[in-house]
A and B are shown apart, each in its own frame.
Chain A
Amino acid sequence: MRNVFAVAGIVIKELYRRKDFYVLFILTVLICLVMASVNIFNDKQIVRYLKELCLLLIWVSSLVIAITTTARQIPAEREQRTLLPLLAKPLTRTQLIFGKFLGCWIACGLVLVCFYFAFSVLAASRDHAWPLLNYFQAAFLHWIMLGVVVAMALLGSLVFAAPSSNSTICFVVIATILTVGRYLDAVAVAQPEPFRSIIYTVYFAIPHLEIPFELRNLIVHDWPLIGWNFVALDALYLLAYAAAFLVAACLIFRRKPLN
């Protein structure tokens, strides 16, 4: 584990020393502040729309950071040739993959802490409420969901030649899962065979990321908390997908020549 943590530490250092995160964070906060300062039609419920838009921005920003940070990890190591002195040390390729995953995932967690803290301050200034447990549930499952995204992007970085193509494909896949993934079973029912079976297979094979995404509503509409056992089950379900992507990444990377 020592090697995994050492690699993860470098990834985290890279994130806070690069400007990507700060740019996105400042941009998101600025947009949210501008929205918060506007009072449309004297609507008392306007704060809900504000919260919804802010959370959507946080989701988009977190996906951008997770995918772009992860997608460049292995290609940058290859391009800069730092992979060679690294693997010439007693570090296995599996440890490197797990270290990169852990580093990107923890970095995403730190990013979420910053985003949700800024959001909670902004929301409290308008709403005069601080539902910490709701924020925790939403942020926790958001972070677990980013684990799937990070593992997927890491696998993609070993399959696709360029980080840009990997990032684009990951964005399209995640956006598709979030928007239409949950309706695939309904689509399958209306299709003749063999399309029905194919769509059903896709429906059951893809990771369903909609629960963390829909947990935004806990905050937006001040709904009561969902059961902690349900949160734990969804977290386990998502972690299983992240593990599957990581195992695939390790298997591919172990066979990849480094010359």
Chain B
Amino acid sequence: MVTILKADKLRVEYRNREMRQATKIALAGLDLEVHAGEVFGFLGPNGAGKTTTMNVLLGFVQPTSGAASLFGIDVRQPIARRRIGYLPELTYYYKFLTAEELLRFYAKIFGLPRSEADRRIDDLLKLVELEHARKRPIKSYSKGMQQRVGLAQALINNPDLLILDEPTSGLDPLGRMKVREIIQRLKNEGKTVFFSSHELGEVETVCDRVAIIHQGELKVVGRVDEIKKTHHSNLEQAFLEIIGYQPQTAS
């Protein structure tokens, strides 16, 4: 199996500038491998270190120690990002541009020839069902439409690896279903998808493998059915058990 994404003893510490504040350990020696063609769910409660991991993988944050690579290339090299697509959580794209202009801008950064860019833009706007709004400024888009244009920009270079940070966050059930369908379609096309989510039902539906992270530490990694089997429950209950959640009983 070809390893697409690798984190090796990744540690990230945030030093607090204020006096008497302890250094926050965002990641404590994370080891992770994602293989070609799989949909990999990255789970954890808020503040667990999911976004920090993604930030390191994308070269936004320097790890305190350890290393990370994409396609075998150190993430600090910009060339490592040539074959990836990234959708951040809650992004408000340039309001003064139309979806078509936004995609053309990103296509230019990837150096796509004009004809290729035109073809990709048409295909992607069809895929995310924004063809009718391609000439409208993004400021007139609903939240769901903005998230779909975000997904389109992540796919502009036809990436082999897609990194999605809570792609369905804030979307209505219909929007969530559409995003899920797109992930499923990408999976069928043999793309590798690495995504974080709080929607465990959705993770259960689309993911081949998941990793659960809590307080910067990797708690478990494996196939969804294996995790469910080990904990004799559904993924949500297994998740709560793994992160050590104790339900409070009324006295």
Q: A1-38 vs B: 1/0 string, CB under 8 Å?
A: 01101100110011001100000000000000000000
Contact status B97-A13, CB under 8 Å = yes
Please judge, given known A-B contacts A13-B97, A82-B92, whether A87 and B59 are in contact too, CB under 8 Å: yes
- State whether the Cβ of A45 lies closer than 8 Å to any Cβ in chain B: no
Which of B81, B91, B94, B111 is within 8 Å of A2, CB to CB?
Answer: B111
- Which residues of the partner chain A approach B52 to less than 8 Å between Cβ atoms? 259
Residue from A6, A14, A82, A88 with most neighbouring chain B CB atoms (10 Å) = A88
Contact status A80-B78, CB under 8 Å = no
- State whether the Cβ of A85 lies closer than 8 Å to any Cβ in chain B: yes
Among the 9-residue stretches B36-44, B101-109, B206-214, B218-226, the one with 4 or more Cβ atoms under 8 Å from chain A is B101-109
Contact status A18-B96, CB under 8 Å = yes
- Which residues of the partner chain A approach B180 to less than 8 Å between Cβ atoms? none
- State whether the Cβ of B84 lies closer than 8 Å to any Cβ in chain A: yes
Please judge, given known A-B contacts A18-B96, A89-B81, A90-B82, whether A84 and B60 are in contact too, CB under 8 Å: yes
- Which residues of the partner chain A approach B163 to less than 8 Å between Cβ atoms? 88
| Residues A123-137 near B (CB distance < 8 A) | none
Closest chain A residue to B165, Cβ basis: A84
| Residues A241-259 near B (CB distance < 8 A) | 257-259
- State whether the Cβ of B5 lies closer than 8 Å to any Cβ in chain A: no
Please judge, given known A-B contacts A6-B108, A6-B109, A85-B153, whether A258 and B55 are in contact too, CB under 8 Å: yes
Contact status B101-A13, CB under 8 Å = yes
- State whether the Cβ of A92 lies closer than 8 Å to any Cβ in chain B: yes
Residue from B94, B150, B153 with most neighbouring chain A CB atoms (10 Å) = B94
- State whether the Cβ of B28 lies closer than 8 Å to any Cβ in chain A: no
- Which residues of the partner chain A approach B97 to less than 8 Å between Cβ atoms? 10, 13
Tally B residues with Cβ within 8 Å of A: 35
Contact status B91-A13, CB under 8 Å = no
Please judge, given known A-B contacts A10-B94, A14-B96, A92-B78, whether A85 and B108 are in contact too, CB under 8 Å: no
- Which residues of the partner chain B approach A259 to less than 8 Å between Cβ atoms? 51-52, 55, 60-61
Which of A18, A84, A89 is within 8 Å of B91, CB to CB?
Answer: A84
- Which residues of the partner chain B approach A258 to less than 8 Å between Cβ atoms? 55, 60-61
- What are 20 residue pairs bridging A and B, where the CB atoms are less than 8 Å apart in the complex? A2-B111, A6-B108, A10-B94, A10-B105, A18-B96, A80-B91, A80-B94, A81-B88, A81-B92, A82-B92, A84-B58, A85-B88, A85-B91, A85-B154, A87-B58, A87-B59, A88-B88, A92-B78, A259-B52, A259-B61
Query: 17 new A-B pairs (CB below 8 Å) besides A3-B109, A80-B91, A82-B92?
Result: A6-B109, A13-B97, A81-B88, A81-B90, A82-B93, A82-B94, A84-B88, A84-B91, A85-B88, A85-B150, A86-B109, A89-B106, A257-B62, A258-B55, A259-B51, A259-B52, A259-B61
